[in-house]
Structure 1
């Protein structure tokens, strides 16, 4: 963990400019090809959701700007960020989940599957966002539809700084599978180039 010296930070003006806005989030929606990743997950008996979620977490942790958080009046760079995701239940509701990041898929997946079972056996929203560590990143999946745009709820808090990543149902075109991805971040902490780096690394991970 490292406290950023805002006074000498190259993003000082960017941070101060966007932090004055009631809604400083920005983002975009795109696609990544997931054909190889889907086949590999199925060949090894893994959940495709778990597989691409892990690849996303690896990509997130490769981009320094997505590990920055606003804590009080400080900007802190965390060594790593962990995962959070909505988990659907059989009754049509969902709950929030939290799981630790590991570069090793098997380790990551064990924790994820345990958390999925816990949420599916609970009611309400599950874990409160108020008790989640700030060094996590929010994921959600819309498995019923693909999408080309997305709208998140917001409380218009300029210090809300946890990035949001959303996945949809993959499309099939010319025999290839394409996963829609929406990514948003606090513009005082990250720019378009940083979100593009995440997408680039996410695609590279899916192609491995």
Structure 2
């Protein structure tokens, strides 16, 4: 982890402007083409949810601004951020958090994710490790092909962990699309970074053989 210091005056003003707002988060929802990705997973009998979590997390880790966090009005950058995603449980009709250490090796990550998902069925968790912000909060909403999403969160003290959700797949013009919503702190993440993220995510979905 390292400290980020804004030496560019305009970038510093951008940070201070949005960091001073009561609701400083930016939300963008877009559809991602996953036609080849889903076909690839099914042909190789790979688990769909952990595989989606993997490409979402890998895309986020590739963009420094998604790894930045605000602590006491200062910015730090994590070397790696780790997904904490929602999974159903056998204990209740509400979800459990499932945290998995991110690993660049897809098969290693999928194995770890499957193990954690199974553990959450009977021992659900609703707590994050105190003082830790190297997370990426993810959630699946497979019942709805949503067109927008707003997350519950604390605004004060500052919460700068990005939220990324994906929804129900749908067919359009012969392609399989997946709605993806991103919510991030605008003092850290701008529209350009969001655009880069969606481009990376779709590239990974369109070329699964390069990642799995």
TM-score grouping bracket, smaller chain normalisation: over 0.9
Query: 1:40 maps to which residue?
Result: 40
Q: Is the 8 A contact 1:6 1:75 kept in 2?
A: no
Query: 1:101 maps to which residue?
Result: 102
The C-alpha deviation readout for 1:90-118, integer Å capped at 9, x for no partner, is 44221112111111111111111111112
Query: 1:198 maps to which residue?
Result: 197
Cα separation, 1, equivalents of 2:80 and 2:143: 31
Cα separation, 2, equivalents of 1:105 and 1:72: 35
Kindly state the Cα deviation for residue 11 of structure 1 after the two structures are TM-superposed. Answer: 2.2
Q: Is the 8 A contact 2:23 2:155 kept in 1?
A: yes
Q: Is the 8 A contact 2:145 2:168 kept in 1?
A: yes
Query: 2:147 maps to which residue?
Result: 148
Cα separation, 1, equivalents of 2:174 and 2:185: 36
Kindly state the Cα deviation for residue 154 of structure 1 after the two structures are TM-superposed. Answer: 2.7
Kindly state the Cα deviation for residue 150 of structure 1 after the two structures are TM-superposed. Answer: 1.1
- Give runs of aligned pairs for residues 86-125 of structure 1, distance below 5 A: 86-90=86-90, 91-123=92-124
Unaligned runs of 5+ in 1: none
Cα separation, 2, equivalents of 1:94 and 1:157: 25
Q: Is the 8 A contact 1:27 1:192 kept in 2?
A: no
Name the SS for the 2:137 alignment partner. strand
RMSD of aligned alpha carbons: 1.6
Q: Is the 8 A contact 2:84 2:135 kept in 1?
A: yes
Cα separation, 2, equivalents of 1:50 and 1:130: 21
Kindly state the Cα deviation for residue 130 of structure 1 after the two structures are TM-superposed. Answer: 4.9
Please report the TM-score for the alignment, with normalisation by the length of structure 2: 0.91
The C-alpha deviation readout for 1:159-199, integer Å capped at 9, x for no partner, is 21000000001111232100000001100001010011111
Q: Are 2:2 and 1:19 equivalent residues in the alignment?
A: no
Kindly state the Cα deviation for residue 127 of structure 1 after the two structures are TM-superposed. Answer: 4.2
The C-alpha deviation readout for 1:114-149, integer Å capped at 9, x for no partner, is 1111211124xx141353731111100001111111
Name the SS for the 1:137 alignment partner. strand
Unaligned runs of 5+ in 2: 208-212
Kindly state the Cα deviation for residue 78 of structure 1 after the two structures are TM-superposed. Answer: 1.2
Greater CA deviation, 10-19 or 25-34? Answer: 10-19
Aligned residues: 206
Cα separation, 2, equivalents of 1:157 and 1:79: 25
Cα separation, 1, equivalents of 2:48 and 2:29: 20
Kindly state the Cα deviation for residue 8 of structure 1 after the two structures are TM-superposed. Answer: 5.1
Please report the TM-score for the alignment, with normalisation by the length of structure 1: 0.93
